[in-house]
């Protein structure tokens, strides 16, 4: 079996398991970039998504100026292609993490690249919360934060789980482009050590590993969405 694998996937074996270009290193880099950028981008996206809902004309705290601010920031960042964003915010990235290249440097553009997408997803998810429940909470004197956490986020948990899954899968795709600034990861393995070197077996295995990662995220997301669903 080992001999067959070595003969069928020679470039995969050549890359090795450890080391700077090893498979385990690439897997860890992908997890690292996905996890931390999901945390930072997710928090930012959640803040902007909630902001868009509550400051909207029909929100619980209508505010034209704040709604315009949230809406324009999200729209502008969504309009910028990620590969251009990588280069455009390089000085800001260096200011934040001290370098413009590497896995840690990729966290800044990844977080800023994913947050506007997630903000719009959160906006749509929370917009589906029954307005009658919101009005009922207001009628009994619920505070602003009670409505945000006890109504919007609680009632929208199923949809939030669903859109978070979609966002995470999109983020995994963005990590492949982060290889342009030396971020590494499975996407970079598939492109730099597979496609660019005509090593089809390396590209194939890297792609399969990414697909497994996506499948796991999808299964967990579907489980949470179903668990939180009121239907």
For the stretch 56-113, pLDDT in tens is 988 888 999 999 999 999 999 888 888 888 888 888 888 888 888 888 888 899 999 9
Give residue 230's pLDDT: 60
Give residue 180's pLDDT: 63
Give residue 166's pLDDT: 93
Per the prediction, the chain carries an average pLDDT of 86
Q: If pLDDT is split at 50, 70 and 90, which confidence band does 183 have?
A: confident
Q: If pLDDT is split at 50, 70 and 90, which confidence band does 6 have?
A: confident
Domain ranges of the chain: 25-228
Give residue 22's pLDDT: 83
In this predicted structure, which of 36-45, 47-56, 128-137 has the lowest mean pLDDT?
128-137
Assigned CATH for 25-228: 1.10.3720.10
- Please write down the HEC assignment for all residues of the chain: CHHHHHHHCHHHHHHCCCCCCCHHHHHHHHHHHHHHHHHHHHHHHHHHHHHHHHCCCCCCCCCHHHHHHHHHHHHHHHHCCHHHHHHHCHHHHHHHHCCCCCHHHHHHHHHHHHHHHHHHHHHHHHHCCCHHHHHHHHHCCCCHHHHHHHHHHHHCHHHHHHHHHHHHHHHHHHHHHHHHHCCCHHHHHHHHHHHCCCCHHHHHHHHHHHHHHHHHHHHHHHHHHHHHCCC
Half-sphere exposure of 163 toward its Cβ, with a 13 Å CA cutoff? Answer: 24
Tell me the percentage of the chain whose pLDDT exceeds 70: 97
């Amino acid at each position: 079996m080992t001999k067959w694998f070595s003969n069928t996937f020679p470039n995969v074996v050549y890359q090795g398991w450890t080391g700077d270009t090893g498979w385990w290193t690439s897997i860890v880099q992908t997890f690292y970039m996905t996890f931390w950028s999901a945390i930072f981008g997710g928090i930012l996206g959640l803040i902007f998504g909630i902001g868009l809902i509550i400051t909207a004309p029909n929100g619980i705290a209508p505010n034209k100026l704040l709604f315009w601010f949230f809406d324009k920031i999200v729209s502008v960042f969504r309009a910028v292609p990620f590969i251009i964003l990588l280069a455009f915010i390089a000085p800001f990235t260096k200011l934040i993490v001290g370098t413009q290249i590497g896995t840690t440097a990729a966290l800044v553009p990844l977080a800023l690249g994913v947050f506007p997408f997630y903000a719009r997803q959160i906006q749509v998810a929370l917009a589906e919360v029954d307005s009658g429940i919101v009005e009922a909470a207001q009628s009994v004197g619920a505070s602003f934060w009670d409505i945000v956490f006890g109504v919007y986020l609680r009632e929208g948990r199923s949809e939030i789980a669903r859109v978070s899954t979609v966002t995470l899968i999109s983020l995994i795709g963005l990590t492949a482009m982060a290889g342009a600034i030396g971020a590494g990861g499975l996407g970079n393995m598939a492109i730099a050590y597979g496609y660019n070197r005509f090593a089809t077996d390396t590209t194939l295995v890297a792609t399969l590993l990414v697909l497994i990662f996506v499948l796991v995220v999808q299964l967990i997301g579907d489980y949470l969405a179903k668990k939180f669903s009121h239907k």
